[in-house]
Amino acid sequence: MPQEDFIKREIDKLGKILAKALADLLGLKLDGKVNEGVDALNVTLKKELNFTIEELIDLPEDELFSFLITTKKLNNNQLELLADMLVQVAETSNDNRSTIAYKKALIIYKSVTENEINYSINRHNKIESINQQLGL
């Protein structure tokens, strides 16, 4: 029982860290400091999960979900926060990496939807928005 409590606390802690990183990114984005927000996000991700947004974007699509679930052991809430981060990064880019970030976020959102018991209209709307951005 104590081991399970420790694991639960660590999972909850990581979720809070990811949520704060996303909030910080959004705050800096609103202040017009997008690059600083992405840099801060990368520092947090590197420290907590040992990868950056750029490394995630560079990961082949067919390896993405396995990497996040099997290797990094992220739960659905953490995955959705990570997808939200990818969307924010995609919205601030004007190059091919924006499209790749949107596609990665879409993969994550769809996978979470398939693995989640409860339907989320918010997640559905995020998927629809990305589909529109990608012209799907």
- The predicted structure's pLDDT at residue 59: 92
**Angle (nearest 5°) at CA 48 between 97 and 5:** 135
Q: What is the DSSP letter of 133?
A: H
**CA 111 – CA 44 distance, rounded (Å):** 24
pLDDT digit string, tens, across residues 51-91: 888 899 999 999 998 899 888 888 898 899 899 989 988 88
Give residue limits of the domains in the chain. Answer: 2-134
Whether residue 16 is predicted with pLDDT greater than 60 in this model: the reply is: yes
Q: 9 pLDDT band (50/70/90 cuts)? A: low
Q: 125 pLDDT band (50/70/90 cuts)? A: very high
Query: Which of 4-8, 30-34, 49-53 tops mean pLDDT?
Result: 49-53
86-101 mean pLDDT = 86
User: Which 3 state secondary structure label does DSSP give 14?
Assistant: helix
Q: What percent of the chain has pLDDT over 70?
A: 81
Here the tokens at position 81 are: 């926060």
Across 36-59, b (16+ Cβ under 10 Å) vs e yields ebbebbbebbeeebebbbeebbeb
Q: Which residue has the tokens 């995609």?
A: 90
